[in-house]
């Protein structure tokens, strides 16, 4: 469906044209003075200069050119030359009724579907998921869902860090503890055991232990680096161990991401693109893109217009080892080959921005990426604690994701049990649903690039700009609908009447903006715009709810209309939270 504001603008185009003026002056915006009007057009000011007339005179001419008031109900020229408008309430009702009957809820899917690969999550295998990876998962999942909703072909790739030093560290520590394991016997030629020689909890203990030792013990670190290199060169026993580490760790990661309602289409990682590296290195060298600098193979990526130093992209270290730049470039090659994306969008900590500037420039310059494939970096800020420093546990350690979620869910559980009048048979399940909304909304309601403070008390509150408040509002609509159904009432979708009061009209105007908001939020890859919208919508709804007797309304047609509107609000809110990556419980 056309956006409501566009329908109004079309009317203004007609009016300007009829008044003999250019249609480009007919731009309409939502009023910033809702006390005076709902929409406004300031085109008379600009037109005044072109046509050498007083703005108010132009505004008056345009206003009198509007003869049909079925869309714009009221229109007024006010000094010095504003045109203020109010929508015809009957038209608004019709628009919302159509919206309710539309399976896409008024959103026009794209006519030009693109293949967009979203690189998000970015977990490192064998290292526990921590809050640093939380933002990437939450923001990336939302962008993927928004794109899919708009009709694009979205591919989510977790792009695991599965090829780095952490693997060598684990192998080294394992060897220290159990040198007799068959994986370390270089002469062994048989099959390796199917069972991993460790569990996930052992693995999670081994990594920090090894990492700690390597920081204190040079020789240990040397052994770990060497093990990493041997693994990458294909040593059989190490490869077998690597497979075990991958299996155990990825199983656990999947469980964690599932709990976050984050789902990837691809579980690829850095290790998957190793096969592309030798060919890429040859290509870069043979075509004169790369050159040696103090033994390292690099590609210059600085540009004249740079205001700060952009160092070259590092393809190989002087010892021949591949680096982070190398795998990201090789990954671009693979993605181009397998998926031909129109866009690759990276959702990564903004502190990695320089790395992506280097990679993007290098990929363009060396033509690893098609000319018309867009590379986008969505750098997000840090999640801080109340002290303004990166979020930590109470003891000051790195906060594990599982623990964070556990603590939030416990907090929610206490609140739900306290608040409760009816008995919930599944308060724990409800707490998990509401807890997830607290975490995700708390994150997404901030512009991604900004740092934000993760404030458990605020995020879990049922009041204010929070996930639980939005869910509470949805649950309120559901329980009214449920009561109505119990009375034997039947919902009449698409039969919304012109608003009876101001709060109802405001609510309806808010609902009507849904399609524009979703489209714009995806265009700007800005989930926070959806949050801002549903917060406003929830407020409008609650205001309407407090002023209106819905179920005790005596006029049946009016009551039907209230309930249809209420159901439409529910549907819009539920669609929006789905785009944000969470859902609402049946009761709270």
Stretch near ligand ARG under the rule CB under 6 A, chosen from 119-127, 510-518, 555-563, 574-582: 119-127
Count of residues making up the chain? 588
Q: Could you tell me the smallest distance in angstroms from the CB atom of residue 369 to ligand ARG?
A: 13
Q: Could you tell me the smallest distance in angstroms from the CB atom of residue 445 to ligand ARG?
A: 23
Q: Which of the residues 145 through 164 are near ligand ARG (CB under 6 A)?
A: 159, 161
Q: Could you tell me the smallest distance in angstroms from the CB atom of residue 164 to ligand ARG?
A: 8
85 versus 129: smaller Cβ distance to ligand ARG: 129
Q: Could you tell me the smallest distance in angstroms from the CB atom of residue 225 to ligand ARG?
A: 19
Q: Does 124 bind ligand ARG (CB under 6 A)?
A: yes
Tokens standing for residue 323: 């680096």
Q: Could you tell me the smallest distance in angstroms from the CB atom of residue 253 to ligand ARG?
A: 12
Return phi, psi of residue 75, to 5°. -145, 140
CA distance 312 to 396: 37
Task: List the one residue out of 52, 60, 50 whose CA is nearest residue 22.
Answer: 50
273 versus 299: smaller Cβ distance to ligand ARG: 273
Q: Does 368 bind ligand ARG (CB under 6 A)?
A: no
CA distance 443 to 466: 10
CA distance 159 to 133: 12
3-state helix vs strand vs coil in the chain, percent to 5: 55, 10, 35
81 versus 161: smaller Cβ distance to ligand ARG: 161
Residue with the shortest CB distance to ligand ARG? 122
Q: Could you tell me the smallest distance in angstroms from the CB atom of residue 321 to ligand ARG?
A: 17
DSSP strands (E only) in 320-406: 343-349, 374-380, 383-384
Burial of 393 (0-12, 13-18, 19+ CB in 10 A): middle
Q: How far is CA 375 from CA 266, 329, 335, 524, in A?
A: 19, 12, 12, 14
| Sole binder of ligand ARG in the list 82, 207, 220, 346 (CB under 6 A) | 346
Q: Could you tell me the smallest distance in angstroms from the CB atom of residue 134 to ligand ARG?
A: 12
Bridge partners (DSSP) listed for residue 266: 157
44 versus 129: smaller Cβ distance to ligand ARG: 129
328 versus 567: smaller Cβ distance to ligand ARG: 328
Q: Does 545 bind ligand ARG (CB under 6 A)?
A: no
CA angle 263, 265, 268 (to 5 degrees): 110
Q: How far is CA 153 from CA 106, 267, 341, 343, in A?
A: 20, 17, 9, 11
CA angle 144, 431, 395 (to 5 degrees): 90
Task: List the one residue out of 44, 67, 66 whose CA is nearest residue 55.
Answer: 44
DSSP strands (E only) in 446-528: 452-453
Q: Does 122 bind ligand ARG (CB under 6 A)?
A: yes
Q: Does 141 bind ligand ARG (CB under 6 A)?
A: no
Stretch near ligand ARG under the rule CB under 6 A, chosen from 117-125, 203-211, 447-455, 486-494: 117-125
Tokens standing for residue 494: 């698409």
Cα torsion for 132, 309, 325, 366, to the nearest 10°? 140
26 versus 347: smaller Cβ distance to ligand ARG: 347
Q: Could you tell me the smallest distance in angstroms from the CB atom of residue 161 to ligand ARG?
A: 3
Task: List the one residue out of 346, 288, 282 whose CA is nearest residue 316.
Answer: 282
Q: Which of the residues 310 through 339 are near ligand ARG (CB under 6 A)?
A: 328
Q: Could you tell me the smallest distance in angstroms from the CB atom of residue 333 to ligand ARG?
A: 13
Pair type for strands 296-299 and 313-316:
antiparallel
Q: Does 119 bind ligand ARG (CB under 6 A)?
A: yes
CA distance 482 to 532: 28
149 versus 360: smaller Cβ distance to ligand ARG: 360
The 426-455 contact track toward ligand ARG, x by CB under 6 A, reads: ------------------------------
CB 343 within 8 A of CB 114: yes
Q: Does 348 bind ligand ARG (CB under 6 A)?
A: yes
Q: Does 276 bind ligand ARG (CB under 6 A)?
A: no
17 versus 376: smaller Cβ distance to ligand ARG: 376
124 versus 409: smaller Cβ distance to ligand ARG: 124
Q: Does 77 bind ligand ARG (CB under 6 A)?
A: no
328 versus 560: smaller Cβ distance to ligand ARG: 328
161 versus 312: smaller Cβ distance to ligand ARG: 161
Q: Could you tell me the smallest distance in angstroms from the CB atom of residue 142 to ligand ARG?
A: 17
Tokens standing for residue 267: 């579980």
User: Residue count at the site for ligand ARG (CB under 6 A)?
Assistant: 8
Pair type for strands 343-349 and 374-380:
parallel
Q: Could you tell me the smallest distance in angstroms from the CB atom of residue 585 to ligand ARG?
A: 33
324 versus 462: smaller Cβ distance to ligand ARG: 324
327 versus 515: smaller Cβ distance to ligand ARG: 327
Q: How would you label 22-31 residue by residue, b for 16+ Cβ within 10 Å and e otherwise?
A: eeebbbbeeb
Task: List the one residue out of 9, 12, 8, 5 whose CA is nearest residue 61.
Answer: 12
CB 156 within 8 A of CB 264: yes
Q: Where along the sequence are the contacts to ligand ARG (CB under 6 A)?
A: 119, 122, 124, 159, 161, 328, 346, 348
């Amino acid at each position: 469906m056309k956006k409501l504001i566009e329908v109004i603008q079309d009317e203004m185009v007609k009016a300007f044209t009829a008044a003999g003026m250019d249609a480009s002056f007919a731009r309409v915006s939502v009023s910033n003075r809702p006390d005076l009007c709902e929409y406004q057009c300031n085109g008379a000011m600009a037109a005044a200069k072109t046509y050498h007339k007083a703005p108010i005179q132009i505004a008056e001419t345009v206003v009198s050119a509007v003869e049909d008031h079925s869309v714009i109900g009221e229109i007024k020229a006010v000094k010095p030359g504003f045109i203020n408008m109010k929508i015809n309430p009957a038209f608004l009702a019709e628009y919302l009724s159509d919206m309710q009957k539309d399976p896409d809820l008024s959103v026009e899917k794209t006519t030009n579907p693109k293949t967009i690969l979203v690189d998000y999550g970015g977990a490192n295998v064998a290292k526990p998921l921590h809050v640093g990876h939380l933002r990437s998962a939450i923001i990336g999942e939302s962008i993927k869902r928004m794109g899919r909703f708009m009709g694009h072909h979205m591919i989510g790739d977790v792009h695991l860090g599965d090829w780095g030093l952490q693997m060598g560290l684990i192998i080294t520590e394992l060897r220290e503890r159990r040198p007799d394991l068959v994986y370390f016997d270089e002469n062994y030629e048989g099959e390796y055991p199917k069972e991993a020689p460790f569990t996930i909890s052992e693995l999670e203990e081994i990594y920090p232990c090894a990492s700690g030792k390597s920081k204190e013990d040079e020789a240990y670190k040397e052994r770990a680096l060497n093990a990493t290199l041997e693994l990458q060169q294909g040593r059989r026993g190490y490869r077998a161990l690597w497979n075990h580490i991958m299996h155990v760790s990825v199983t656990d990661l999947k469980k964690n991401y599932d709990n976050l309602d984050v789902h990837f289409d691809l579980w690829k990682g850095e290790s998957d693109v190793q096969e592309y590296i030798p060919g890429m290195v040859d290509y870069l060298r043979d075509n004169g893109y790369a050159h040696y600098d103090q033994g390292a193979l690099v590609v210059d990526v600085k540009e004249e217009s740079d205001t700060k130093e952009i160092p070259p992209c590092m393809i190989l270290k002087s010892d021949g080892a591949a680096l982070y730049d190398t795998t990201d470039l090789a990954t671009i090659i693979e993605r181009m080959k397998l998926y031909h994306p129109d866009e690759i969008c990276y959702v990564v900590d903004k502190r990695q921005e320089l790395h992506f500037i280097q990679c993007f420039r290098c990929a363009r310059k060396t033509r690893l990426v098609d000319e018309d494939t867009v590379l986008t970096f969505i750098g997000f800020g840090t999640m801080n604690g109340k002290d303004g420093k990166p979020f930590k546990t109470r003891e000051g350690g790195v906060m594990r994701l599982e623990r964070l979620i556990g603590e939030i869910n416990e907090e929610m559980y206490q609140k739900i049990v306290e608040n409760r009048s009816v008995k919930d048979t599944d308060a724990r399940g409800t707490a998990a649903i509401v807890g997830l909304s607290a975490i995700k909304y708390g994150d997404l309601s901030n512009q991604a690039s900004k740092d934000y403070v993760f404030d458990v008390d605020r995020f879990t509150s049922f009041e204010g700009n929070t996930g639980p408040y939005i869910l509470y509002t949805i649950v309120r609509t559901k329980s009214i609908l449920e009561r109505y159904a119990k009375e034997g009432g039947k919902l009449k979708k698409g039969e919304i009447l012109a608003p009876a009061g101001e709060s109802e009209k405001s609510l309806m105007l808010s609902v009507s903006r849904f399609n524009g908001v979703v489209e714009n939020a995806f265009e700007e890859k800005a989930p926070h715009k959806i949050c801002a919208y549903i917060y406003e919508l929830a407020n409008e709804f609650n205001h309407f709810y407090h002023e209106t007797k819905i179920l005790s309304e005596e006029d049946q047609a009016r009551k039907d209309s209230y309930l249809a509107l209420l159901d439409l609000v529910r549907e819009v809110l539920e669609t929006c939270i789905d785009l944000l990556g969470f859902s609402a419980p049946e009761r709270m």
